[in-house]
Amino acid sequence: QIGKVGTVVGCDTSSCGACTILLDGRSAKSCSVLAVQADGSSVTTIEGLAGDEWHPVQAAFKECHGLQCGYCTPGMVMSAVDLLSENPNPTEAEIREGLEGNLCRCTGYHNIVKSVALAAETMKGGK
């Protein structure tokens, strides 16, 4: 109704993470948030993540081919942004744990993890 298409409904039970947004800067599965709960909060969807240029996480997903069908990508990106805001230098295990609530049926996660690692390097000035 409001023209946003990036935040998709995947499972409608908060199991898949495809609907992940940032609510006051922290990742939240939007299918489990009532509008009244978000009242007065800052809500960022994938469309609001980038300014004139892609966010470093979005750019890293493109660079490392961290997507295939793209259905889970907005949720993965938003979860990765939250993860990197809390832990700017995660290990591979920490990346995998940070993305644990997001399901991907196409990629096998390897390139998604590489994408988050590249974004971490980029965001701290490594690339």
Per-residue pLDDT at 60: 98
Alpha-carbon span 12 to 32, nearest angstrom: 8
Letter string b/e over residues 15-41, b meaning 16 or more CB atoms within 10 A of that residue's CB? ebbbbbbbbeeebbbbbebeeeeeeee
Q: What is the reported pTM? A: 0.90
Check: CB of residue 73 under 8 Å from CB of residue 66. Answer: yes
Per-residue pLDDT at 70: 87
Per-residue pLDDT of the chain (127 residues), as tens digits, is: 666 667 667 777 788 999 999 999 999 999 899 999 999 999 999 999 988 999 999 999 999 999 888 889 999 999 999 999 999 999 999 999 999 999 998 878 999 999 999 999 999 976 5
Per-residue pLDDT at 118: 98
**The token pair that represents 126 in the structure block:** 């490594």
Per-residue pLDDT at 11: 79
